[in-house]
């Protein structure tokens, strides 16, 4: 039951972010959800309900921050970019078989730096790139709940979906 629930949530949220990524509230919610879910599952592997609750709380915090931060929206979005970057690289590392621990925390830190830098330097392009990767990561993570995918296949599917989302969003 846990796998089905998390899979459906991941696919639905991922598809929404992949197609509607320029919606800043949706971007903030998805970034908070992904980082909350992935980190909670790494720290407490058998606490699925707690992971969903933490993910939902972080998603709500992201939406509230974007809504409240009228003047500082750019800084909040840069922070959301850092959260999204950390979540994306954490998920990617996890799907490639990197065990939770010091290496995954280092990967999350590098992802946060990349996400923050993308949003700081290339704001519009950064949103499109991060939402494409975020949506693709959520979709593939959800799919893996139903179909066990080899690491390389899940990575390729993620990159293909991210490219499709990127070009779709750029054309809108």
Position 71 scores a pLDDT of 65
Cα 58 to Cα 19, 63, 108, 141, 159, distances in angstroms: 22, 9, 16, 18, 25
The model's pTM: 0.76
* 17, 129 contact by CB (below 8 A): no
Provide the 3-class DSSP secondary structure of residue 100.
Answer: coil
For the stretch 97-115, pLDDT in tens is 777 777 888 888 998 999 8
Sign (positive or negative) of CA dihedral 101, 86, 109, 47: negative
Position 1 scores a pLDDT of 59
pLDDT at 2 > cutoff 70: no
Distance of CA 7 to the CA centre of its chain: 14
For the stretch 8-66, pLDDT in tens is 888 888 898 888 877 878 888 888 888 888 788 878 888 888 888 998 899 899 888 88
């Amino acid at each position: 039951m846990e796998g089905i629930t998390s899979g459906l949530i991941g696919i639905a949220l991922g598809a929404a972010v992949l197609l509607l990524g320029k919606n800043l509230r949706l971007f903030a919610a998805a970034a908070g959800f992904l980082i909350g879910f992935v980190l909670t599952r790494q720290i407490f592997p058998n606490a699925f309900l707690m992971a969903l609750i933490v993910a939902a709380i972080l998603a709500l915090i992201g939406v509230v921050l974007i809504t409240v931060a009228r003047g500082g929206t750019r800084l909040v979005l840069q922070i959301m970019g850092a959260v999204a970057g950390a979540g994306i690289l954490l998920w990617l590392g996890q799907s490639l078989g990197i065990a939770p621990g010091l290496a995954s925390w280092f990967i999350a830190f590098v992802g946060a730096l990349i996400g923050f830098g993308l949003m700081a330097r290339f704001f519009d392009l950064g949103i499109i790139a991060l939402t494409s990767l975020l949506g693709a990561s959520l979709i593939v993570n959800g799919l893996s709940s139903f179909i066990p995918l080899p690491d390389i296949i899940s990575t390729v599917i993620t990159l293909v979906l991210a490219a499709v989302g990127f070009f779709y969003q750029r054309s809108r």
